[in-house]
Amino acid sequence: MLQRFLDPKILASISGLDLVAKTVVDGFVAGLHRSPDFGFSQEFAEYRAYAPGDDLRHVDWNVFARTERCYLKRYRGETNSQLTVMLDASASMGYSSHGITKLDYGRFLAASLCHLAGQQRDAAGLIVFDDQIRQYVRPSTRQGQLSRLLHAINEAEPRARTDFGKPFLHFQQFLRRRGIVAVISDLFERPETVLKTVEPLRFRGNELILFHVLDPEEISPRLGEPAILVDMETGRRLEVSPEYARTEYKRRIEAHLRELRERALAAGVDYFLLATDRPLDAALREYLTIRQGRM
Amino acid sequence: MGFLSPWFLAGLAAVAIPVYFHLLRQQRANPRPFSSLMFFERSTQSSIRHRRLRYLALLAARVALLALIALAFAGPYILRPVASSGERSLLLIVVDRSFSMRAADRIERARQAALSILSARRPAAPAQVAALDAQLHLLTEPTASAAELAAAVRSIEATDERSSFGELARAVRALADSSGAVVELNLVSDMQQSSMPPGFSDLALGPKVRLRLHPVAEAAEPNFAVESVVAPAAIFDPAKVRVQATVSGSNSPAARLAVSLVAAGKVLETRRVDVPENGRATVEFHSLAVPYGFTRCEVRLDPADRLRGDDRFQFAVERADPRPLLFVHEARDNRSLLYFRSALESAQTPAFRLQPVTADQCGALDPARFPVIVLSDVEALPAAFEQRLRKHVRDGGAVLIAAGPATARRGRAPVLEEKVLESRYAARAGERFQTAASADPAHPSLRFAVGWETVKFYQAVPIEPAGGRVVARLADGTPLLVDRALGEGRLVYFASTFDNIANDFPLHPSFVPFVEQTVNSLGRVQQRTSSVVVGSFVELRSSAEQGQAVEVIGPEEGRALSLEEAARAQSFQLRREGFYELRRASNRNEMVAVNADRRESDLAPIPQETLALWENTAEGNPEAAVEAGAVQRPWNLWWHVMLLVLAAALAESLVAVRYLSVEREVA
């Protein structure tokens, strides 16, 4: 019932990004099945067998006294992760064919992820980039962090071109702790280049999620007549016939998506394609799945 | 197919407008933003299909609409054969009534020939009768009434004008074009050679005229005529009059003829003259004793021949006393008076009687009494006299001014008030004297002044010509003789004197004709001629006589002008032989003698070959064209094209509505 609130068109009508994020997350959480694997208010989390190199301060000596085995007692605070959302704000993200742009969708997604992370007491940070880093909010769990994040997300406006190389190079300098990196972009770049750029993050032990946001018209364009298309990033013009859009373009975009998915899988990067006419819950579920894996 | 206004075809360029909108504008319309073009590439297939005529039907309708509008304005037409208008023909009978038709019974034979043509025609066929002299006069409308046509033929009488076949051809061409019928032209004439136009092409009658010639004269009739008479229009001394007559013969043998000078019906003198074969002879009469006033004179041939009209030549002379000529000079200058008087009295026709007066004695004189006034190097004139003199000139008077040292001291030319440029003396060491380097021999003053260029001028007092006509200049360009108009009058300024001091002109033979012709010209003595040719125009009133009645009494002693014409007509055409009396507004009476054009006296007919050629000229014989049905007329297609324009506009509207709905759906 509440799933309908995750419809992007309805979210777009809600003013205030914090309210959007709250609506999304609350609706999403309320719809989950109860599961022992998912708890939010327990102090104690689990015991884990000691391994060489673990800090001896975390050994539960009471258990060792009873069983003569070393177990580490893990608490909730220790399982907190760090989420860094990288939001692409290039000009192409401003495209829309049905009332909601890709950047709007990305904003909702980023805000929802930050809100969800905040509820789980994960440190959340934000990088807004196009061909360079436009905004950076350092990951933190401090009070008011969510407001800062939402403010930064709200200020993101589509401009310039997408260039993965430069912002990701800088981003690696900011990344001090391992965590989850969520990249929200339309990824209009060669898959080889995209993966080559983001792979170094994976090597540092980060969990990497590529949220590939596309407009349904970009996946399957519907041209009723020959048209002149203008590239929103470069301004280049091109005559396009409906026949080409139906056949050749579709073949190329599907090949592009397939290659992205395969290369991401090969690189251990989670890839998730989001069409802007789809609800946001799938994206959040993807995040939580990965989040669970890091607990 | 042709176009009446082919320049409107330039409007076909407007066809480019819909083509532009359909082919070019359509492609560039509505560019759509797209996130990335990395998966698109320029496709040949796309480009070709893009350029196809998307709205073929709409484009075709619009192009057709504009093209048809341009076509309609260009006025397309096609030539269609006319359904044999040859059935509609007009019998046109033209009877020559020129002066030469007075010979013997030519006019009567012409009338009979015309009547026989009328009787031979089909009874219901329309016919028209016309008379030919200098112009073609239509005497009836096209009619089938035999009585009306015969009456018109019988009313034709010979006139004093000459005939012109060129004018006939032009008029018949116009008649055929306007009537649209085939004209069967029957010309009844003496076929005079002198009636032919300069070029044979002027005889072309057009494709719708069929010519039949009916000559009424025998070939080469001999004829004698008084060709011309040279006589003065005004006589002041009958003993000095010389009348010269020229007698000519055409197609005539050598003959001895009696030539008589007749004045007021009385034979004054008869002389015998031998006229060579086809030649001319001249007769001179050395006196013409006529009473005062106008006298009707003529030179007559005896015996008269078949064309009596040209056996006499009429002229009018006016006997009058010499008119007064006021000669104003300085009291100390008697030399000018002496030379000028001598020259005037030596003239062949002394039209003026010299009345000398010194400059200081002329104050009480009225200049209006003198047709010509001579101011011979005067220094000072009484102011009242000079003022009256200036007014007199503006009203039409004439003054001859001679300038010398006295004029130079005055500094200004009298009457004219033009400043004297200089008093130029020929230097003794250098040039010694000057001569007239350039002169206008057409000017009356110099027309008979033979040897004028040898006159030595020692002093000149020139003035600025100021719009006047410079008749003669000295070698250094100094204006010597200036003819200038002032109001209605004239002044002649001679930049030297008549005293044989400033020049030696009075000692030269050219001085006498110079003085005679100058005063005659200023006094308008030679402007009238003793006779004119039939068809000439005479001017009835000058610009100052507008609105005043003028009377013209014709040869039949009747008034030739209606009341309205007498008050308004500017000129009058003299169309008959005889004497015309003109009573002008200023109580001036004139008499004009009118004679027929002597070209009519040559009765030589046109050669038969030429007549045959005229009759059978291809353009003049429409039978072939009519019978072949080849007569074509332009048929205007304007309305048909406009109907197509309407259809195209309707089609365009329907197709456009259809496509507009499609475009809305796409948008």
Whole-Å CA distances, B108 to A144, B42, B113, B513? 139, 101, 9, 53
pLDDT number for residue B297:
93
Quote the DSSP letter at residue A169. Answer: H
pLDDT number for residue B115:
92
Task: With residue A219 as reference, give the H or E element that holds it.
Answer: helix A216-219
Q: Do A229 and B33 touch (CB under 8 A)?
A: yes
Return the higher-pLDDT residue of B51 and B338: B338
Task: With residue B515 as reference, give the H or E element that holds it.
Answer: helix B511-522
CB B19 within 8 A of CB B59: yes
Closest CA–CA distance from residue A245 to any residue of chain B (Å) = 8
CB B566 within 8 A of CB B553: no
Return the higher-pLDDT residue of B98 and A146: B98
CB B103 within 8 A of CB B603: yes
Question: A109-118, B97-106, B212-221: which has the highest mean pLDDT?
Answer: B97-106
CA distance B95 to B163: 11
CA distance B462 to B438: 15
The sign of the dihedral angle between the CA atoms of B399, B400, B406, B412 is positive
Q: Give me the amino acid identity at B282.
A: T
Closest to B110 measured CA to CA, from B90, B124, B91, B129: B129
Q: Give me the amino acid identity at B199.
A: G
CB A85 within 8 A of CB A127: yes
Q: Flag whether residue B45 sits within 8 Å of chain A, measured between CB atoms.
A: yes
Question: A8-22, A199-213, A270-284, B395-409: which has the highest mean pLDDT?
Answer: B395-409
Helix axes A281-293 and A17-30, enclosed angle (nearest 10): 70
Cross-strand pairs, B632: B81
CB B163 within 8 A of CB B98: yes
* DSSP letter for each residue of B1-45: -EESSGGGGGGGGGGHHHHIIIIIIHHHS-EEEES--TT----HH
Question: B84-88, B257-261, B445-449: which has the highest mean pLDDT?
Answer: B257-261
Nearest CA in chain A to B667: A224
Cis amide bond preceding B506, omega within 30: no
Helices (H) and strands (E) in chain B, counts: 15, 33
Closest CA–CA distance from residue B20 to any residue of chain A (Å) = 17
pLDDT digits (tens, 9 = 90+) for B372-393: 999 999 988 898 999 999 999 9
pLDDT number for residue B666:
38
Judging by DSSP bridges, how do beta strands A207-214 and A227-231 pair with one another?
Answer: unpaired
Does B232 score more than 90 pLDDT? no
pLDDT number for residue B96:
93
- CA neighbours within 13 Å on the CB side: how many for B126? 12
pLDDT digits (tens, 9 = 90+) for A235-289: 888 777 777 778 888 888 899 999 988 988 888 888 888 888 877 776 677 667 7
Residues of B in contact with A96 (CB under 8 A): none
Domains assigned to chain A = 2-33+80-293 (3.40.50.410), 44-77 (no CATH)
Does A169 score more than 60 pLDDT? yes
Determine the average pLDDT of the residues in B72-98.
77
Task: With residue B263 as reference, give the H or E element that holds it.
Answer: strand B255-263
CB A115 within 8 A of CB A107: no
Backbone angles phi, psi at B270, to 5 degrees: -130, 135
Categorize the per-residue pLDDT at B582 as very low, low, confident or very high, splitting at 50, 70 and 90: confident
Closest to A289 measured CA to CA, from A142, A81, A75: A81
Q: Flag whether residue B49 sits within 8 Å of chain A, measured between CB atoms.
A: yes
Does B46 score more than 70 pLDDT? no
Interface of chain A against chain B, CB under 8 Å?
92-95, 102, 186, 188, 215, 218, 224-234, 236-241, 243-244, 248-249, 252-253, 256
Residues of B in contact with A236 (CB under 8 A): 37
Closest CA–CA distance from residue A21 to any residue of chain B (Å) = 26
